[in-house]
Amino acid sequence: MDSPPIQRALISVSDKLGLADFAKGLAEAGVEIYSTGGTARHLRDNDLEVKDISEYTGFPEMMDGRLKTLHPKVFGGILCRHDRDDDMQAIGEHGIASFELVVVNLYPFEATVAREGVTMPEAIEQIDIGGPSLVRAAAKNHAFTTIATAPEQYASILQQVQEQGSTSFELRQQLAGAAFTRTAAYDAAISSYFQEQLGASDEVFPENVSIQLQRKAVLRYGENPHQQAAVYSDGTSSGPSLISARQLNGKELSYNNLLDLDSALSIVRSLPGSAAVVIKHNNPCGCASADELAPAVQKALDGDPVSAFGSILAFNQPVDAATAEVLSTPGLFIEAIGAPSFSPESVEILTTRPKWKNNVRLMEVGELESTKAQVAYRQIGGGMLVQEADMNPDEYDEWKVVTEAQPDDRLARELRFGWAVVRHVKSNAITVTNDLALWGAGAGQMSRVDSVEIALQKAGKRANGAVLSSDAFFPFPDSIQRAAQAGIAAIIQPGGSKRDSEVIDACNEHRLPMIFTGKRHFKH
């Protein structure tokens, strides 16, 4: 397809990064520049000759800039098809100049609504009308019109203009795709903002949902080496996360690294004191809380030393030198560590002492906040499942002791810890915990009996005096009998089975305190 020479450019931008140099290059290549308001002033301040759109259209800018480019002489020049005699005749008859290049970036709506205390009238004034219209018109007519929507696109456009006086169809098509992506994201941001402002309604799930995602990185591969993968940031989220984290050391993060780090951070957010978690295949194989981080890390690693090899770790407190010393124990291999921050001493130890010093990913995520209510999306064939994320803290005052035996203060503390951990284990989930540490976990089994057996086997002798937690009810008393044989001191579960009375009787038989939480925590 023939590429029309770029004779005129229409430039109207909010972000003026790199604009002056770009416009100077265009002018030197013989391109005539038309512009509006603040953009025209910026270009003139940089000694560029600019024609005002208002002078060209014969219609003044008005309403504080709300109306400036919405005019047939503008859109006719953008939309005309250069290979159509009737189009070119029409613009000639009506004194319309063709625009072969349009440079537009939109009002900063997203940045505006992200600021603290922004009012709705302020947000509404940052809803661009003319800009998206110009972008869509130029992108639609990309067979003849080049559209630039971001400063990083200027170099490739300018290079082609300087070399050949025009741009290639391939570049124009690529830029058109980026332009439509930008306007779609822009509209999605506005839609999300209005949904948020109208959130007082009783409808949790709106009829239509817009998800804003921007690619942050292409990953080495997905769950397996034959799968391609990337990570995207959610434009509506804020606060500490892996997406905004600073990587202090190590190789690129993989798909599985990110999944495991995210799970690890979600666990330690909800744990008391100084907490550490060891993740393997998206399940905790070690977890502990203590007064200081170093002993918590040691207990977490001791939970399942074999599985801890090649694991992912996360902490809810800054990593200090004492913690780094524990992590540098010979024979231990760690893939990645997520924490609010790392002291200089800890970074020095972790990046110089262990054999894996060059590869371990150190992810500084910032101060971990209490988890906020979120909506969780999960893709299925042909669509999405959407639910409220299971992130709210448990209400201890709703728990009921349903047995004759009552848990003492020590057991009550252990039961709370065990319940905080088991909700993060894949169902069917069973955990064995004691001394605020995870000693055994049974995860993802088709039978709850199998999960109980695995958790007790992992815990071994450490099950004696420990707490057993189950993410859902026990359908039969057989698991209670097995727990009692292993020396379990107390049990916590949601309750709700038809055979609850049989399960309670089995606990009473062994003088085992049992709590019903009334809330299930399946994690599929």
Can 140 be counted among the known catalytic residues? Answer: yes
Question: For residue 428, is the peptide bond before it cis, meaning its omega torsion is within 30 degrees of 0?
Answer: yes
Question: Is 94 within 8 Å of 76 (Cβ atoms)?
Answer: yes
Distance CA 211, CA 234 (A): 8
- Using the structure block, give the residue that is written with the tokens 């801890």: 308
Question: Out of 24, 140, 510, 519, which one is annotated catalytic?
Answer: 140
Distance CA 50, CA 336 (A): 54
Instruction: Please name which of 445, 399, 449, 446 lies closest in space to residue 420, comparing C-alpha atoms.
Output: 399
Question: Out of 24, 82, 251, 281, which one is annotated catalytic?
Answer: 281
Coil/strand/helix, residue 428: coil
Q: Please classify residue 401 by burial: count the beta carbons closer than 10 Å to its beta carbon, then call 0-12 exposed, 13-18 middle and 19+ buried.
A: middle
325 dihedral zone (left: phi>0; alpha: psi -120 to 50; beta): alpha
Distance CA 362, CA 341 (A): 9
User: How are beta strands 32-35 and 8-13 bridged, if at all?
Assistant: parallel
* CA-to-CA separations, 407 to 26, 189, 411, 439, 467, in angstroms, rounded: 78, 50, 5, 20, 10
Can 281 be counted among the known catalytic residues? Answer: yes
Distance CA 171, CA 167 (A): 7
Catalytic residue set: 140, 281
